[in-house]
Structure 1
Amino acid sequence: MLKQYDPEVCLGHLKTYTFKELRAATDHYNAKNILGKSGYGIVYKGTLNDGATVAVKRLKDSNNFGGEIQFQTEVETISLVVHRNLLRLSGFCSTENERLLVYPFMPNGSMASRLKDAIQGKPVLDWSRRKNKALGTARGLLYLHEQCDPK
């Protein structure tokens, strides 16, 4: 039996999903739905029962994450981060063996992919747009490291 997230913990605007719900949304974490990979896990495109498209990050080594209390604390901290240059966490799932984060789906892809994209050998983003993206990224990082509470 999968142990679900402690319902007594209140995390404001965040929605709590079941593992079954997110597994169905991502077509059983099908490789065709992979949006990206990172050191922390794999991100899948998913469609929820209500038709909403989401990005589901399935964290690697959830047992090494530090346990349920630390995961709840991290989710609570991430949920408090609100900035125009940062994607806001919208939900999560936690079971005995799985930790998943749910974000809104961004149809234009990741910043990394946009910087690499080219049409007929020419970059999709010109230098002016690249500069604006870099400045927006810098503003988001400044907020996280200096202005956000907790940092």
Structure 2
Amino acid sequence: MKNTENPVVSIHYTLTNKAGEKLDSSIGAEPLSYLHGAGNIIPGLESALSDASVGDKLTVTIEPADAYGEHNEQQIQTVAKDMFKGMDKVEVGMQFQADSSTGPAIVTITKIEGDNITIDGNHPLAGEQLTFDVEVMEIRSATETEMEHGHIHGAGCNHE
């Protein structure tokens, strides 16, 4: 079965950056499964897997625009420390969900200077050229419910 008409696709992958540093991998764990065509993975990788079959192995280099977007300086801002009142500890690297003009967004604390905290709404991989080494492990038809919900059901899914 080719990877068409919104199937559930399971892949093993290793993700590296432009410098060749390994950023993530599913090797030694469960494959990543996603509903193809539903936007569950970055657009560049989904596009590259559109004609894949079980057993295919490919290396795909994806530019930022087709991955997590370009780094946007407007997504970085400095806020007052009292915005984090009630928290026992505030540290660089902590992430929070915040409301943005485009809906909920994840922001990361990148700097703390006195009473000023710098937060960054960019995805940590924004602006990065990414390379995926991928092997297609399985392709199956999505269930009606998976199609309705726009994602696969299985481990970690909290509804049927």
Bigger proportion of residues as strand: 2
Same-fold call, TM cutoff 0.5: no
Query: Which of the two has greater helix per residue?
Result: 1
Q: Report the TM-score, using the length of structure 1 for normalisation.
A: 0.25
- Rg bigger for which structure? 2
TM-score (normalised: structure 2): 0.24
